[in-house]
Amino acid sequence: MTFYQELQLNQAGSKNLLKKSETLKEKLYHMWVYLVKIAATMAFCFFFVSIFSILFGNENSIVGVVVLLCLMVFRNADLGIHTGQSTMLLALFFVIMTVCPHLANQFSPVLGMLLNIAALAVLILFGCHNPSMFNQSTLVLGYLLLYGYDVTGKSYQMRLVGMALGAALTCFVFYRNHKNRTYKRNLKDLIQEFDITSSRTKWQICQILCVPIVLCIAELCNMPRAMWAGIAAMSVILPSMEDMHYRVRKRIVGNIAGVICFTVLYFLLPSSIYAYIGILGGIGVGFSAQYGWQAVFNTFGALAIAAETYGLQGAVSLRVSQNVFGVVFALAFCVMFYWFMPKKKESEVTVHAE
């Protein structure tokens, strides 16, 4: 494996190489490559988001985050169907992420929930067809971030331009990287594969319904940062109940641990570098291959921003309450949803297996 190829590995792949190292020299080399990858990734992310902030305003820095997320994911991940159709779908996804979160914020919580359901239905049914790809962690997360950091007036006009640029970049990179691949399925196949008795479709419907409902309830209860509850719910909804239970536990424990670590750093470090705690969290996420540790370090960035508005105590209480509410509600919702939904008959399962 070349140096460049090793740089393309994810955290789990890099850590697997470290575990398999037979000599100290080999382990030190893989560790060095891993550190270079983390440093290069952080530098590129910081530069990319900074450019978007300069071009489109600080209030639209979140656009840089969403575009960067899409670029880094979809340069490798696909939608499982014909490349041309997938590219058009990506362009549509950017339109939805640009328009629908803004419109939903203009409506009442209930009407906004209905619009969010419609928008997420398109994103998830056509963009998250393969649960193992975790495309929902890109598309739904991007949608929720833009929903939570909504802007108006001139800032929204600049957001339109920024998202249009992001769509062009993402579609170009996606098509270039996937144009030579052969796919047996197309958009029509995705529609035909919709089956409310399958675990995949049930998972998709849970995402489509549960996340907007969580947002709506949080807003009706006048809970600031409602998107935190939505993101928490999105991250734990999985096709397998066993996996969901695991993520709910890890999300709650990791979130509390992250809050404690952030609070300690908040009191130990001078106020002039509070903003850099979020960067420290990003580095920690880069080193984390397990969901629990990612939940710990993701808390740093969220609290670093929220503490400026709500103070430390307010930000901490919001973070904990929103995350616990989001994951517990998601688990309860999915348990009841799966129980009420029809199941495949044994004869149908046998036929599919054959």
pLDDT along the chain (354 residues), means of 10: 69 74 81 81 86 93 93 89 94 97 96 97 91 84 95 96 97 94 87 88 94 96 91 92 92 92 87 70 69 84 84 90 94 91 52 32
d(CA 309, CA 315): 8
**Lookup: tokens for 340:** 């009420």
d(CA 66, CA 150): 13
Chain centre distance of CA 326 = 15
d(CA 179, CA 86): 10
**Lookup: tokens for 172:** 């170009």
Task: Give pLDDT, residue 227.
Answer: 93
Alpha helix (H) residue ranges in 183-288: 187-192, 199-220, 226-236, 241-268, 277-287
Distances (CA, A) of 213 to 102, 196, 252: 17, 20, 20
Pair 258, 295: CB distance under 8 Å: yes
Task: Give pLDDT, residue 349.
Answer: 34
d(CA 162, CA 275): 24
Task: Give pLDDT, residue 293.
Answer: 82
**Lookup: tokens for 67:** 């575009």
d(CA 67, CA 93): 12
Please count the other Cβ atoms lying within 10 Å of the Cβ belonging to residue 217: 17
Distances (CA, A) of 94 to 50, 123, 159, 169, 240: 20, 10, 12, 11, 29
Residue 58 backbone phi and psi in degrees, to 5: -60, -30
